[in-house]
Amino acid sequence: MKSTFRLPVHATVGTRPPLATSDEDEEDRFVNRECYEFNHQLRLAWNDRRCEHCRHYLTARCAHLDEFLDDVEDLSPE
């Protein structure tokens, strides 16, 4: 049985991103969010404003971590 991997959904405060209709739309959901803060431990060339390069990505400091945890629960085996 193959499983899929989904990136966490980090919506801006009070809103949820629209459902993606294509792979390109899916990627855009994780770019240029208002809460983005570049992780300066990474090379500056990596600052493409994507969630995975944010200082708060997958940490307790991420204001949207609950949404990520909800997504992980959706992937749990029954």
Tell me the pLDDT of the chain (78 aa) as tens digits: 555 555 555 544 444 444 445 666 666 777 888 999 999 999 999 999 998 899 998 899 988 788 667 766 666 676
Question: What confidence score (pLDDT) does residue 20 get?
Answer: 47
Instruction: Provide the 3-class DSSP secondary structure of residue 6.
Output: coil
Q: What's the CA gap between 26 and 21, in Å, rounded?
A: 7
